Structure 1
Amino acid sequence: MSTAAEPWRLIDPSWDWSEAQARFRWQVPAHFNIAEACCDRWARMEPEKLALTHVTEAGARERWTYGALKAASDRLASALAADGISSGDRVAVLLPQGPEVLITHFAAMKLGAIVLPLFTLFGRDALEYRLADSGAKILVTDPANLEKATALDAPLSAIYCTGPEKAAAPVRSFSEAITRAQPLRAPVNTRSDDPAVLIYTSGTTGPPKGALHAHRFLLGHLPCMEIGHMHFPQPGAVGWTPADWAWIGGLMDMAMPCLYYGVPQVSGRMRKFDPDAAFRLIRDESLTTLFLPPTALRLMRQASVPPGLRVRSVSSGGESLGADLLEWGRAKLSAPINELYGQTECNLVVSANPEMMRIKPGTMGRALPGHEVAIIDAEGRPLPAGQEGEIAVKAPDPVMFLGYWNQPEATARKFVDGWLKTGDLGRMDDEGYITYGSRDDDVITSAGYRIGPTEIENCLAGHPDVLAAAVVGVPDPIRTEAVKAYVVLREGAEWAGLEAELIARVRRQVSAHVAPRSVERIAEMPMTATGKIMRRDLRARG
């Protein structure tokens, strides 16, 4: 559903839940490009319309219009093309939240290239794996990460740095590119199913896999934005999330949808989440629409809520919030906290809206219009209400990934009888409300991140004193789970000081956000008859 006055709206605000389910129809055109929909379209209609307010670490505010984003991305696209980037090539982005992230995404997409978002806390091993596996040709980064980027063993043809005006080869100046390069003459007319973004999963059952998404996956996120944020966008809406834009949550649960709807948003780097600073930002920038991971909400609950907030809705995902946290949101923020559900391969397919449905604390909500979600058994058969099984999404779906990068067999294993398997267990009641149960893999949910054990274990096992390593999540009151490692040492290895050394090794080589909180040495690793680590036994040890 859309109107001439509101061409972006998919869900009529007058519909109740039953009407929305019955009347909604996908509007996926044959040709679609995220850069066109989120930048160039608005630049043609309202070039001076505010798109982004970037708050620097020093507290200054940089304001970017749609016209400025288009001009910068047009010039960067031309520079990237001169460096050999064309349709299907991968452009990596190693940047914190800020306008440069958006400019790079749009520039690459205008060339038909594929964007590879990378988390700035990734260490050398994590970055080299993703760059090598994806075959990325160009990396865009900032001065804080330039030394790390230039030291990588990766077949990059060029690195763009957002800092200095001048740079020595093979480092290019991002600033020069967006101000001095000739604008791109014409963007590639991509099809909706053409690849646009490559986001690596957490690597729960082996090395991280690249989930390849088409341009259409932006459209697949929109029903959740409109319903989960109370008929978004409302007049005067301003969006923000502390979630890094390298993750699908930060990028697609807030950043890109805001741009699509013409809603201004705020960006800024928060090196460590500070609930008091978050509340000041929400107040000072008159933020209305927030995506806040569960850990951020729990930390904010412990802080003082300042007067004068204008929050209208909060979305959160990754784990169940509980009735008490939902009630705190209503009482202190004067806004509903609506849970949502999805994963990197198929995001935002379940949510809630208290104006359209009865809220059942402990559930994630219902399958959103346009998405068919079921609880299935191992053969892909939907199970009766109340019975636990695997949460699954019916294919095809606009928000669903194209497949794992260069892994057709892994892609095939992700599906059974027309259903995408999420790997999460849950149950559905007779009204369609879905309750998350547990995981059937070894992913760790910590501080809003989904962390796979494999990269961490490989890093630990690479230490000369470690024979075997296993990583599990243990309960944590703030983070939901904390990462804990178990190691078997070589004979004669000294334990004194080794725990701290191993933790530092993971922080340095993989990422600080996945580093174990503790490491315990054990005499032998519990194994199955086929040689697989029995992480369930390790979790039981606590």
Structure 2
Amino acid sequence: MIQALPGLNGEGRWDIPARLNMARQCLAGDPDALAVIDLTGPMRRDVSVAALDDMVDGIARALMARVKAGDRVGVLLSQSPWCVASHLAIWKIGAISVPLFKLFKHDALASRVGDSGVEIVLTDVEGASLLGDLAEPWLAEDIGIAGPQVPFADTCPEDPAVLIYTSGTTGTPKGALHGHRILTGHLPGVAISHDYLGQDGDCLWTPADWAWIGGLFDVAMPALALGVPVVAARMAKFDVNECARIIAAGDVRNVFFPPTALRMLKAQGATIDGLRSVASGGEPLGAQMLAWGRDALGVQINEFYGQTECNMVASSCGAAFDARAGCIGKPVPGFEIAVLDGDTPTQSEGDVAVKRGAASMMLRYWNRPEETAAKYRGDWMLTGDRGIWEGDFLRFVGREDDVITSSGYRIGPAEIEDCLLTHPAVATVGVVGKPDALRTEVVKAYVVVKKGAQVAAPELQAWVKERLASYSYPREIEFLDALPMTVTGKVIRRELKARAMVEGAG
């Protein structure tokens, strides 16, 4: 039976006050309580709520001289106390934070900085070198923290607070604009996915970067809001031994492992003792992985489901019910999910949709009214996924779009295609996901070279790595004489996808 959950009233409806500021939610705990366990340096450093509050005020004071309510401010920082302090400071003054990822290269950063209108980015020395002249870098750690307290902006739940970019199948990544209610919207699902997070001794960590909604709002901010210490640690690449070290050094009891991390742990025969909960989301897990989790981790792996536009809408909960292999859990209280056939809910396979009014649902896409309108069908927000009900469990069938899921990242093929087309030797290109046992999918590019030109796959791979993100380059490139095209000259990705599916099964 589902217990009382944070973010909801006694009737299971959203409990959202008329005035709401996310920074206040995260800093409302006991000042002496532990907020962040910092493992990014050579020694563990414990940061209290009071110390984090001082860091937030220091950044907020500096920003107030240049930034007003509604302005966008970038945050280009890996897991660290300064990362959460930067977001909190931006929200505290009523501005909008824009998470940016350290693995982004120039073009990927440029598209997000340019689209959002960011002029200032809170970062570190490494991030400043990545930014170049795209925006003004402010080194967060160098901002003084001494000074008077900064008042919380008098914001409401619908006031914009965070702009998170998500990859799509066409054009550049879209910014999903969220209000101050987004954190409240995550609390029930985060609590459920960790078997009622907030028990004595709970401590939360994820190897996922805090630049993504999964790191920022499935882990870092909910932990602060629920009074659970969050561990900040960096891994350049996921490493099983380092993962075990972090869990031991940080006294971690609750982990969000992306599916690829679980597969790597399983492949290396890893076992981890002392965990109370493990959550996973982004890709469905199978029966073998769930069975392995019980043996090697000592817990039921709780799968959850959502997307940048509306997250944490369904989840399993080992403390309440047994998981069902192939399903992504049950609807989280507060959310109404339907599988639609056209405009009508159905028990057959259909479009997975979430009803308007969910607290974690975006306000809109940034500066994209037509794409915002296309995301909705009446009172329902379309996820772009296909599903089917099995009783009150939701089974994920597949995506309707061409977004590639690789190592937990959602990768838009259009951005990679656009990048490859800037290479002087490339005439046309089509990018799809090819099935892969470890990463779920790998990025594969089918390339037609210009007449008389010559280019090798490593050169094109390096071209993408240098401009987008190191995780989104095509791991496989196949050169063709021609691509399947529509009469209007568009690449028919579904034919390339079918070809890649056959290759992946071979």
- How high is the TM-score relative to the length of structure 1? 0.89
Question: What is the CA–CA distance in structure 1 between the aligned matches of 2:7 and 2:80, rounded to whole Å?
Answer: 28
- Alignment of 1:139 with 2:121, yes or no, is yes
On the 8 A contact 1:283/1:310 being kept in 2, the answer is no
Match of 2:137 in 1: 159
Query: What one-letter code is carried by the residue in structure 2 that aligns with 1:525?
Result: L
Q: For residue 534 of structure 1, report the CA deviation from its aligned partner.
A: 1.1
Q: How does 1:49-60 map to 2 (within 5 A)?
A: 49-56=33-40, 59-60=42-43
Match of 1:65 in 2: 48
Q: For residue 529 of structure 1, report the CA deviation from its aligned partner.
A: 2.8
Q: For residue 336 of structure 1, report the CA deviation from its aligned partner.
A: 1.3
Q: For residue 177 of structure 1, report the CA deviation from its aligned partner.
A: 1.9
Question: What is the CA–CA distance in structure 2 between the aligned matches of 1:94 and 1:176, rounded to whole Å?
Answer: 15
Bigger shift: 278-287 or 71-80?
A: 278-287
Q: For residue 72 of structure 1, report the CA deviation from its aligned partner.
A: 1.1
- Alignment of 1:527 with 2:490, yes or no, is no
Match of 1:36 in 2: 24
Question: Does the residue aligned with 1:504 lie in a helix, a strand or coil?
Answer: helix
Query: What one-letter code is carried by the residue in structure 2 that aligns with 1:285?
Result: G
Q: For residue 530 of structure 1, report the CA deviation from its aligned partner.
A: 3.4
Of residues 378, 397, 410 in structure 1, which corresponds to 2:371? 410
Of residues 161, 185, 199 in structure 2, which corresponds to 1:234? 199
- Alignment of 1:175 with 2:136, yes or no, is no
- Alignment of 1:268 with 2:233, yes or no, is yes
Question: What is the CA–CA distance in structure 2 between the aligned matches of 1:76 and 1:183, rounded to whole Å?
Answer: 12
The gaps in structure 2 that reach 5 residues or longer are 501-506
Q: For residue 293 of structure 1, report the CA deviation from its aligned partner.
A: 0.3
- Alignment of 1:110 with 2:76, yes or no, is no
- Alignment of 1:74 with 2:39, yes or no, is no
- Alignment of 1:465 with 2:413, yes or no, is no
Q: How does 1:89-488 map to 2 (within 5 A)?
A: 89-149=71-131, 151-152=132-133, 154=134, 156=135, 158-161=136-139, 174-180=140-146, 182-305=147-270, 309-377=273-341, 379-383=342-346, 385=347, 387-429=348-390, 431-488=391-448
Question: Does the residue aligned with 2:444 lie in a helix, a strand or coil?
Answer: strand
Distance 1:175 1:287, change over 3 A: closer
Of residues 499, 518, 526 in structure 1, which corresponds to 2:476? 518
Query: What one-letter code is carried by the residue in structure 2 that aligns with 1:68?
Result: A
Q: For residue 418 of structure 1, report the CA deviation from its aligned partner.
A: 0.7
Question: What is the CA–CA distance in structure 1 between the aligned matches of 2:379 and 2:271, rounded to whole Å?
Answer: 49
Question: Does the residue aligned with 2:381 lie in a helix, a strand or coil?
Answer: strand
Query: What one-letter code is carried by the residue in structure 2 that aligns with 1:175?
Result: E
The gaps in structure 1 that reach 5 residues or longer are 13-19, 162-173
Question: What is the CA–CA distance in structure 1 between the aligned matches of 2:18 and 2:169, rounded to whole Å?
Answer: 35
Query: What one-letter code is carried by the residue in structure 2 that aligns with 1:446?
Result: S
Bigger shift: 71-80 or 526-535?
A: 526-535
Question: What is the CA–CA distance in structure 2 between the aligned matches of 1:185 and 1:509, rounded to whole Å?
Answer: 39
Question: What is the CA–CA distance in structure 2 between the aligned matches of 1:280 and 1:69, rounded to whole Å?
Answer: 25
Query: What one-letter code is carried by the residue in structure 2 that aligns with 1:281?
Result: I
Once the two structures are superposed, residues 261-311 of structure 1 have per-residue CA deviations (whole angstroms, 9 ceiling, x without a partner) of 11011111110000121122223322111111000000011234456x220
Match of 1:168 in 2: none
Alignment identity in percent?
Answer: 45
On the 8 A contact 1:239/1:258 being kept in 2, the answer is yes
- How high is the TM-score relative to the length of structure 2? 0.95
RMSD between superposed Cα atoms in Å:
1.7
On the 8 A contact 1:77/1:184 being kept in 2, the answer is no
Question: What is the CA–CA distance in structure 2 between the aligned matches of 1:444 and 1:352, rounded to whole Å?
Answer: 24
Question: What is the CA–CA distance in structure 1 between the aligned matches of 2:63 and 2:191, rounded to whole Å?
Answer: 35
Question: What is the CA–CA distance in structure 1 between the aligned matches of 2:246 and 2:123, rounded to whole Å?
Answer: 25
Question: What is the CA–CA distance in structure 1 between the aligned matches of 2:37 and 2:250, rounded to whole Å?
Answer: 9
Of residues 31, 34, 53 in structure 2, which corresponds to 1:47? 31
Distance 1:233 1:11, change over 3 A: farther
Of residues 480, 494, 502 in structure 1, which corresponds to 2:460? 502
On the 8 A contact 1:283/1:306 being kept in 2, the answer is no
Question: What is the CA–CA distance in structure 2 between the aligned matches of 1:484 and 1:9, rounded to whole Å?
Answer: 42
Query: What one-letter code is carried by the residue in structure 2 that aligns with 1:100?
Result: W
Q: What count of residue pairs does the alignment treat as equivalent? A: 498
Distance 1:141 1:185, change over 3 A: closer
Q: For residue 477 of structure 1, report the CA deviation from its aligned partner.
A: 1.0
Question: Does the residue aligned with 1:179 lie in a helix, a strand or coil?
Answer: coil
On the 8 A contact 2:7/2:184 being kept in 1, the answer is no
Query: What one-letter code is carried by the residue in structure 2 that aligns with 1:249?
Result: G
Question: Does the residue aligned with 1:350 lie in a helix, a strand or coil?
Answer: strand
Distance 1:10 1:396, change over 3 A: closer
Distance 1:375 1:292, change over 3 A: same
Once the two structures are superposed, residues 361-411 of structure 1 have per-residue CA deviations (whole angstroms, 9 ceiling, x without a partner) of 11111111110001112x32111x2x1111100112111000000111110
